[in-house]
Amino acid sequence: MLVGAISTLRRWISGLVLPGVFLLLSQGFSLWTVTLFLLGIIVVAVLASLWGFLSWRATTYAVTGNSFRLRQGVFQKSERTIPLDHVQSVDTVQGIIQRPFGVYEVRIETAGGGVSEPDASLSALDRDAVQTLRREIEGSRIERSEETTGPTVLRRLSTRELLVAGATSGQIGVAFSVLAIGFQFLDNFFPEDFVRRLVETLAPNWLMVLLILVPVGLLLAWLLAIAGTVLAYTGFTLSREGDFLYIKRGLLERREATIPLARIQAVRISEGLLRQPFGLASLRVESAGYGEDSGVSATLFPLLPHDEVGEFLAVAAPEFAVAPTLKPLPRRALRRYVFRATFVYLIIAFAAAPVSFLVLQSALGLLTLSLILPAAAYGWLCYRDAGWAIEEDRLVVRYRSLGRKTAVAPRRRLQSRGVTRNPFQRRARLATFLAEVASGSGGSALRVRDLDAGAAETLAGELGPGAHLERA
């Protein structure tokens, strides 16, 4: 109840803070405005507590028969019944407010539920109540042996690994834009003179500005990226009990998520640009019912050595543990890869060079040509890394989109297979193969570009139903 009151309070106050502060600033700090401000806060606090109490009293839940029932609402009563078969996962989140009280927010997700909101959520349950609820909901799906041993921990993220994960996360771009916004905010905060003098003393000309600001900005962005990773992944622990995987993570907000093994559609092993040189990888799962916005909850493990991925999957999700030798693409596909990577830059260069000659009367536009070589190299890398294999009824596909990714999906999880050919591919007897698996937000594809057309058709056939009968 208290937690409910506090979170309502927080929500209401955050709505009032801006007008309040604005009022204070515009009217000056006279005794009268300060009193008014404090009075406002007290009134809001009292109302929020009352509301929190009422909604706490109105919320009841129960597991009866084969369904979970939730009743809530102070004025508008609502009652929701979720059949236990439809429950996808029971996740808990422990935010900063809940922590001192030792309670958890429980989120119940169903298959095909809304993407952004959980289908049912209980804002404050204590540890025992959470466990009981979990057992009641999941118990209907698993026949547990009498002596329950509890989940066994498969792997824990050490502090060192956590920091390495942050340092190599490749989120610098995101962090950089956050920083840029932050800087603008600062700009408004400090007097203009101060900023100008600061810049003038630090950097007398624009070259110095570049030389100083860019590395400092990058460094800050990098630190911010590390901080983000630390917030999200501190204490990342993956454990397994029977057919369920449990993930615990988070520094300020402790999250616990459940992934039923039966719901995992595909596993993606991702070796980021900064991680591949060190032989590091991260693992993600595509799981039906996990929405795009709870994307992080689809992280199976944030960082581990690439050599250990096979071993790790063998215990965590054995269905996906394969290490086949991949079939490479035919040599003639290289041209298409290089063309695809350089195409945009070629157009830019062809447009920029004449324009700069005519308008600026300089050959500066030719500089854009220098982009083409790295782009071609990237195309070559994409070609070299692409590959595919079928092993023991599982499709394995490797490709590069900045980082190198390997996706594994069992044949019975493929929702459809397709082969597409454009005119260029037809001339070179190449095709694009694409298999779809279910994922939180509709489908997600495993794609191989420019493999031999015949091979693509065989692949589509072999992954079909009844293929095992034909082979037998």
For another protein, the binding residues in 213-252 under the rule CB under 8 A are none
Evaluate whether 145 touches 190 at the Cβ level (below 8 Å).
Answer: no
Provide, rounded to whole angstroms, the least separation between the CB of residue 298 and another protein: 16
In the bound state with another protein, the residue whose beta carbon lies nearer, of 88 and 229, is 88
How far is it, in rounded angstroms, from Cα 192 to Cα 206? 18
Angle between the N-to-C axes of helices 206-233 and 192-202, in degrees from 0 to 180, rounded to the nearest 10: 110
Provide, rounded to whole angstroms, the least separation between the CB of residue 113 and another protein: 14
In DSSP terms, which residues pair with 447 in a beta bridge?
434
The stretch among 67-75, 330-338, 379-387, 410-418 that binds another protein (CB under 8 A) is 410-418
Provide, rounded to whole angstroms, the least separation between the CB of residue 432 and another protein: 9
Q: Phi-psi bin for 170: left (phi > 0), alpha (psi -120 to 50), beta? A: left
- Residue type present at position 343: F
In the bound state with another protein, the residue whose beta carbon lies nearer, of 29 and 339, is 339
Binder among 423, 427, 470, 472 for another protein (CB under 8 A): 423
Q: Is 429 in the site for another protein (CB under 8 A)?
A: no
In DSSP terms, which residues pair with 409 in a beta bridge?
395
Binder among 466, 470, 471, 472 for another protein (CB under 8 A): 466
Provide, rounded to whole angstroms, the least separation between the CB of residue 37 and another protein: 53
Binder among 88, 417, 448, 449 for another protein (CB under 8 A): 417
Q: Is 158 in the site for another protein (CB under 8 A)?
A: no
Q: Is 461 in the site for another protein (CB under 8 A)?
A: yes
Q: Is 263 in the site for another protein (CB under 8 A)?
A: no
In the bound state with another protein, the residue whose beta carbon lies nearer, of 437 and 448, is 437
String marking each residue 265-304 x if it binds another protein according to CB under 8 A: -----------------------x----------------
Evaluate whether 395 touches 414 at the Cβ level (below 8 Å).
Answer: yes
In the bound state with another protein, the residue whose beta carbon lies nearer, of 365 and 410, is 410
For another protein, the binding residues in 376-395 under the rule CB under 8 A are none
Spatial neighbors of 174 by CB under 8 A, at least 6 apart, are: 225
Spatial neighbors of 136 by CB under 8 A, at least 6 apart, are: 63
In the bound state with another protein, the residue whose beta carbon lies nearer, of 66 and 416, is 416
For another protein, the binding residues in 431-450 under the rule CB under 8 A are 436-439, 442-444
In the bound state with another protein, the residue whose beta carbon lies nearer, of 155 and 417, is 417
Q: How many chain residues are in contact with another protein, going by CB under 8 A?
A: 28
Beta strands 120-126 and 280-287 are unpaired
Q: Is 460 in the site for another protein (CB under 8 A)?
A: yes
Nearest CA to 164 among 277, 252, 308?
277
Nearest CA to 226 among 179, 159, 168, 305?
168
- Residue type present at position 236: F
Q: Is 465 in the site for another protein (CB under 8 A)?
A: yes
Nearest CA to 179 among 220, 142, 140?
220
Provide, rounded to whole angstroms, the least separation between the CB of residue 285 and another protein: 15
In DSSP terms, which residues pair with 121 in a beta bridge?
107
How far is it, in rounded angstroms, from Cα 367 to Cα 249? 47
How far is it, in rounded angstroms, from Cα 112 to Cα 114? 7
How far is it, in rounded angstroms, from Cα 417 to Cα 421? 14
In the bound state with another protein, the residue whose beta carbon lies nearer, of 255 and 268, is 268
Using the structure block, give the residue that is written with the tokens 């990058």.
Answer: 218
In the bound state with another protein, the residue whose beta carbon lies nearer, of 89 and 169, is 89
> Element (H or E) spanning 137, and its range?
helix 127-139
In the bound state with another protein, the residue whose beta carbon lies nearer, of 127 and 412, is 412
In the bound state with another protein, the residue whose beta carbon lies nearer, of 135 and 447, is 447
What residues make contact with another protein under the rule CB under 8 A?
A: 288, 411-412, 414-423, 426, 436-439, 442-444, 457-458, 460-461, 464-466
